[in-house]
Amino acid sequence: MTPSRFLHEGRAYALLAAAGLRVPRHGFLESGPLPFAPGEPIVLKGIADELWHKSDKGAVAFAPFDARALRVEAEAMKARVPEHPWIGGLVCEKVAFQRLPGLPTEALVSLKRDPDAGWMVVCGIGGLQADAWAALAPPLLWPVALATPEQALAELKAHWLGRTWLGLQRGTAALTDEAKLLAFLQGLWRAVDGLARAGVTLLELNPVVLDAEGLPTALDGVGTLAPEGGDTPAAPDPAWYRALVAPRDLVIAGVSSREGTVGRIILENVQRSSLKAALRLIKPGAAEFLGLPCLGSVADLAAAPTDQLIVSLPAAQTLELVEQLCRQGGGATVVYIVAGGLGDGADTEGLGQRLVACLEAHRRTGKWTPALVGPNGLGLYSPDLDLNTLFIPDEKLPLRPRPGHAALVSQSGAFLITRLSRRPELGLRAAVAIGNQMDLRCSDFLRGFGEDPAVQVVGAYLEGFAPGDLQATAAATAHLRASGRRVLLYKGGRSQEGMAAASSHTGALAGDAALQASVLRRSGAMLAERIEAFDAALSWLGAYAKGTPRRIAIVTNAGFESVASADLLTGPFRGARLTEAEPARLTALIEAHGLAGLVSPRLPLDLTPMADEAAYLASTQFLLETEADAVVVGLVPLTRRLATADPTAFGPFARALKELAAARGKWVGVAVEGGAIYDAYRQGLREAGLPVFLTMEEALEGLRVIASEY
CATH numbers and ranges of domains, the chain:
25-93 (3.30.1490), 107-225 (3.30.470.20), 544-707 (3.40.50.261)
pLDDT of residue 709: 84
Rounded CA gap, 403 and 384, in Å?
Answer: 6
Using the Cα atoms of residue 520, residue 521, residue 525 and residue 530 in order, give the sign of their dihedral: positive
pLDDT of residue 208: 97
Rounded CA gap, 237 and 334, in Å?
Answer: 9
Using the Cα atoms of residue 533, residue 534, residue 538 and residue 544 in order, give the sign of their dihedral: positive
Rounded CA gap, 15 and 193, in Å?
Answer: 10
Rounded CA gap, 192 and 203, in Å?
Answer: 10
pLDDT of residue 501: 31
Bridge partners, residue 202, by sequence: 112, 224
**By the 8 A CB rule, do 271 and 279 touch?**
yes
Give the CA distances from residue 181 to residues 100, 176, 214, 220, 573, in Å, rounded to whole numbers and listed in that order. 18, 8, 9, 19, 31
pLDDT of residue 232: 57
pLDDT of residue 498: 33
Chain centroid to CA 358: 30
pLDDT of residue 345: 84
Rounded CA gap, 420 and 434, in Å?
Answer: 15
**By the 8 A CB rule, do 85 and 106 touch?**
no
**Of 491, 538, 537, 496, whose CA–CA distance to 516 is shortest?**
491
pLDDT of residue 494: 57
Rounded CA gap, 485 and 546, in Å?
Answer: 8
Give the CA distances from residue 619 to residues 73, 573, 603, 623, 647, in Å, rounded to whole numbers and listed in that order. 84, 21, 11, 6, 22
**By the 8 A CB rule, do 542 and 669 touch?**
no
Contacts of 211 (CB under 8 A, 6+ apart): 22, 95, 96, 97, 98, 217
pLDDT of residue 573: 93
**By the 8 A CB rule, do 377 and 433 touch?**
yes
Residue type, 66: D
Rounded CA gap, 684 and 651, in Å?
Answer: 6
**By the 8 A CB rule, do 703 and 549 touch?**
yes
Rounded CA gap, 282 and 296, in Å?
Answer: 6
pLDDT along the chain (710 residues), means of 10: 83 97 96 93 96 94 96 97 96 96 92 90 84 82 95 96 94 95 98 94 96 97 76 78 97 95 97 93 95 96 97 96 97 96 89 94 94 96 96 95 96 96 93 95 96 97 88 95 96 54 34 81 95 97 96 96 93 95 97 96 96 97 98 96 93 97 97 95 95 97 92
pLDDT of residue 344: 86
